[in-house]
Structure 1
């Protein structure tokens, strides 16, 4: 990976981590906040389009590429939230963010004709291992999850709602039932794998669309957010009455989301125009580490030592990708 591409991806990770931190605490608002976030993203970035390549090489390609990408992002969010409803946050998130870049790398080689060196393959494996470790180092025993809004996760790995399930008051299980319970597959892992596949799907499609139709990353991102506005409008239902209250109470976070969330992915899209997706996808997951370390140092969530150790592993993998 070139130095320029690495800087783009790391800058994208900083933007991604930043808006997750900014959005921390409002993710449970769900669709009304996401509606405003998508509107802000489209409105704030639309004036930038003429200065960043316009609509790109093909208007038809832009419409098809952004439309399909928006659908894939919506599928990603729906699957992610089903996972949070069925499994623990740490398991689903770590499995998804680890599976996503790994599957993206494989699909990039098979579908996009990319080639990887042995050193790059090792780097990808190290990054994925570090990202998964970041999510699992402080994993707690599974509790019954509380219901969450079906669209509460923000696009492309947003600040996810925390698990709030309480302790069970049911009688202790019989001893003979324990082995059967231990053999059951953790639903969080299954949903995490499906979420990772969704991440890989939109990553590969977006790379294909930009390269095939020579699209501008900014206009592409604006197109995706515009379609997402339509989706959120259709799913608001009775929650439309909450829109004004949400924007009055959280307009600084809406604006921050509208700037930082698209910027984080635009930088990634710029990078994949000249750099193999197989390298970009794992490198962008450093945002997961940044948020985890912030949570440990500032919010006192989990073990600082364990998360820093996992971060060192990820940085080691990034170093291998940069060689």
Structure 2
């Protein structure tokens, strides 16, 4: 993987961790995410419509946009339900671990990418680091009865979320080969915001949704712009690097998030976070060194 692709991923990780920090401090998480998508779509609409007017998107391009919008709607719904049913420390690593684990193998089959063995080792090392960080105290429990993993509340939705991540990564890799990354991201953001609207209004109602906006207007606007920037940088990396390399390397954001938690939120830097973070970094280095 090239240095430029790695730099884009690192900048994306910083932006992604920053908006997740704002999300962590919000009230209703799903409503907050919906509002940040809505506000980002509105703020960036002049640039978005300018790019649309200057771009000729073919039928394949529109089909890819509609597909990724549908996948992202399911992503947010499944992730939200997973967090509602289960603990963050169990749901998050499954959701984020399955994506980078599946993506390289799907990329080989679907996109005919040639993946170096060192990149595969790196992807699996990253997944190991995620589980070491979040499941440190649960390994003994699940080692005795592996079937309990599937019976844990929220895990089913977490697995579905991870599968969705791997699928939209492949679609988006194909999408940015047809559409300029920042325009593609705008269409994705706008479409997902529109698609989530009925679900959010059904779930919490307009009164509660409006209250979330009034209480967190500044964090929502900042998070919306950071969300757009974070994934637009990833899409740019997709445009000239292998999705089987970029998707797993994105998990360096977990390490950035840990550092932010320690520095800003004064969270403990315990043994499991140190070992997990170092393991993820080793995996990213393996992918970076892969031809």
Equivalent runs, 1:1-323 vs 2, <5 Å: 1-28=1-28, 30-31=30-31, 33-49=32-48, 56-137=55-136, 184=148, 185-187=150-152, 188-211=154-177, 214-235=178-199, 236-237=201-202, 239-301=205-267, 303-323=269-289
Instruction: Name stretches of at least 5 consecutive residues in structure 1 with no aligned partner.
Output: 143-179
Q: Do the aligned residues in 2 keep the contact of 1:137 with 1:307 (CA within 8 Å)?
A: no
Q: Do the aligned residues in 1 keep the contact of 2:48 with 2:183 (CA within 8 Å)?
A: yes
> Hey, which of these two has a bigger chunk of helix by percent?
2
Q: Cα gap change, 1:130/1:54 in structure 2, threshold over 3 Å: closer, same or farther?
A: farther
User: Aligned equivalents of 1:51 and 1:79: distance in 2?
Assistant: 33
User: Aligned equivalents of 2:105 and 2:176: distance in 1?
Assistant: 19
* Deviation sequence 1:176-208 (CA, Å, 0-9, x none): xxxx99854443444332221111111111112
User: Aligned equivalents of 2:239 and 2:253: distance in 1?
Assistant: 20
Deviation at 1:264, TM superposition (A): 0.5
User: Aligned equivalents of 2:215 and 2:89: distance in 1?
Assistant: 29
Deviation at 1:61, TM superposition (A): 3.8
Deviation at 1:130, TM superposition (A): 1.0
* Deviation sequence 1:210-245 (CA, Å, 0-9, x none): 22xx20111111111222222232221462123443
User: Aligned equivalents of 1:112 and 1:141: distance in 2?
Assistant: 38
Q: Cα gap change, 1:244/1:99 in structure 2, threshold over 3 Å: closer, same or farther?
A: closer
Q: Cα gap change, 1:308/1:56 in structure 2, threshold over 3 Å: closer, same or farther?
A: farther
Q: Do the aligned residues in 2 keep the contact of 1:44 with 1:258 (CA within 8 Å)?
A: no
User: Aligned equivalents of 2:219 and 2:36: distance in 1?
Assistant: 9
Q: Do the aligned residues in 1 keep the contact of 2:23 with 2:29 (CA within 8 Å)?
A: no
Deviation at 1:52, TM superposition (A): 6.7
Deviation at 1:123, TM superposition (A): 1.3
Deviation at 1:308, TM superposition (A): 1.8
**Secondary structure, counterpart of 1:115 in structure 2:** coil
Name which one, 1 or 2, has greater alpha-carbon Rg.
1
* Deviation sequence 1:136-195 (CA, Å, 0-9, x none): 2366999xxxxxxxxxxxxxxxxxxxxxxxxxxxxxxxxxxxxx9985444344433222
The count of corresponding residues between Structure 1 and Structure 2 is 283
Deviation at 1:300, TM superposition (A): 4.5
Question: TM-score, normalization: structure 2?
Answer: 0.86
Q: Do the aligned residues in 1 keep the contact of 2:28 with 2:212 (CA within 8 Å)?
A: no
User: Aligned equivalents of 1:37 and 1:317: distance in 2?
Assistant: 31
Partner residue, 1:164: none
User: Runs of at least 4 residues of structure 1 off by over 6 A?
Assistant: 50-54
Q: Do the aligned residues in 2 keep the contact of 1:87 with 1:186 (CA within 8 Å)?
A: no
Question: TM-score, normalization: structure 1?
Answer: 0.79
Instruction: Name stretches of at least 5 consecutive residues in structure 2 with no aligned partner.
Output: none
How well do the aligned residues superpose, as a CA RMSD in angstroms?
2.7
* Deviation sequence 1:86-139 (CA, Å, 0-9, x none): 332211110111110111111111100101112121111111211222222366
